[in-house]
Chain A
Amino acid sequence: MSNPLVRSMAGTGKGNKPDMTEAKTPILEARNVYMAFGGVDVLKGINFMIYPGEVHGLVGENGAGKSTLAKIFAGVHQPRAGSLWLKGQQVHIHDPGTAVAMGIALIHQEPLTFPELDVAENIFIGRQPIRKGFPPGVDWAVMYQRSDELLKELGVDLSPKAKVRGLSIANQQMVEMAGALSQDAKILMMDEPTAALTPNEVADLFAIIRRLREQGTAIVFISHRLEEVFEISDRITVLRDGEVVGECDPRGTQVEEVIRMMVGRPLSALFDKGENHRAGKPMLEVSGLSRMMKFEDISFTVHAGEIAGVAGLVGSGRTDVARALFGALDIDKGTIKVDGEEVRFKHPRDALAKGVIYLPEDRQHNALLMPMSVSENMTLAVLEKLAPAGWLRERLERTVTQEYIDKLRIVLRQMTQSVRELSGGNQQKVVLGKWLLTRPKVMILDEPTRGIDIGAKSEVHRLMGELAAQGMAILMISSELPEILAMSDRIIVMREGRISATFDRSEATAEKVMAAAVGQVLEGA
């Protein structure tokens, strides 16, 4: 079934298609680039070429390394190994300024603008036109005029004198684009440029991208929305776990094949929860939950003893739903029932009182007091119980902390050690312990194993399995498909604020889940 136009890396060498772009020198090239953050390999020997006058789609799961690669080209990160080549010359891109000078521009998902400054300055910051005559200085008149020309060229109706604060995301993006044009960028990298745009705005953006391509600009288009990538790209590169796993021509390739390349990875290293008999009663029932601009009509049920996995791409509204369930985000419509009782949480402590706990994705900022000790962190949520007369009973604190340190097998020197010194996996266990002390009924885990090593990961997975077996209802949000597939009894897939599919454990496959997450329907898969 493999398409002849799809080249997997196994049989690379020369392309079997005499493409005219093959003959040209790439304008920008990464050779064997390695990158690691905090001991985790993010890019593992990437080879990537960008040609002038070409839109190069870059796709992959969350965390596949797409944005990291773009940031290396933009001078934000320095690769650990490997080399970068500009027009056949090896270059070192020390900092963003160097990249700008080389004509490399990176446009972010969230436009990086200066809200207090006007449109013209946002376009020209750092490169304002300078008047030649007397008195010298920034020539505002010329800057406004050239901004106006650039905006007209992009076909945007914006005043150069308007402050950027208050512009729509689409318009802010256009301001950034104009900035890239003003510096004569030859390589334009766009990281999820359509994530915050309406369909009409996307169409406008694509018209501009096509015009730039005709003028010979090389464009890297990073997106989760595969249909858009297929529409705009001349060539698509697929990344998975920091490696290039394939390259294809969108005109002769099926979307499903790209999806397969994105997800196909061995699942062996993961803990497998195994089958489960859904015996318990419904603990968390959500129906018709809506919040304007965030999510709409979310309904599902999690039973006692069950792990429900929530899959979906970043920005699909998963975390917002979790925050709403925990009382950290108001809802417009819908009902939430916990253990059969209808609840309306106004504040996270209301949720806590009803036995609903939430482990946020970013534990460093949201869940742990890094400089404080393990025991102080663990008992934070139950301080009232440990201090019956308003005075903390330290011996009791030590006893309960030790109990959970043993239960969770937290590795540490002593419980007075500061949390900062623990490894990521043990930190996550401290968070878990802190919430387990409150004796919850429903646990919402947001990316429970992000950024922790494989051993700690399976340890956290084992704990989740044990907790479920003891009757806990668990809702697990994860960007890692293998984790979702291995741990979930049921899989809820979200896309653009809605539930796009629900699968039982037995019927779920990586391809089906990914297809539902990116909005593709697989035929006969």
Chain B
Amino acid sequence: MYIIIAGGREIGYYLAKSLIADKHEVLVIEKDIDRYNLFSKELGESIFYGNCCEVPTLKSIGAGRADWLIAVTGLDQENLVICQMAKLLFMVPKTLAVIYDPKNEKLFESLGVDIVVNTTSLISVQIGHKLNMGALIPLLTVQNLVVVEADIDESSPAVNQKVKDLQLPPDTILIAAIRREEAVMLKGDTTILPDDKIVAITLRDKEEDLKKVF
């Protein structure tokens, strides 16, 4: 596949390296001359010096035959317009935009970007994991549906309780416990133990109630 990465920066550089290792044809467009010089030592022919927000640049690198355009410049509005131009003028079948303002996620999808990657919420989830604050950790969100992880410690009110005895909020299902690195599917008579990581599915507005259970 021919994959264009618009906007080099660190993310473009590392993404390019892994895609090249997977035998894809990759071209990174970098507009900062210093970063271009730095990255071209390793990426060689796979990096192009130019401004990816300009249509002639996209044309000169053969955007018309690209399978993917991945926009990873540091600005949401740039990533939006690059993806739209790729679709509109070069019929690129698949576009992906990285965003920093979480409010843009749905907007960009509705404006024709195929995949929107919300880095801010990804980073928040990661930090949540590292801090392990006892709160629910969101694993996956689909509309108002969320898959969350709850880390159980000794002080949790759920410890040593059976699943069927927990006062769960409505529209909530406990799926599994990760116990000593193994998944245990939860049934009504399964007992919650300390150090369990409970994977649950719930609705976004029920998260606060679910938090109280653990």
Q: Do A and B come from one complex?
A: no
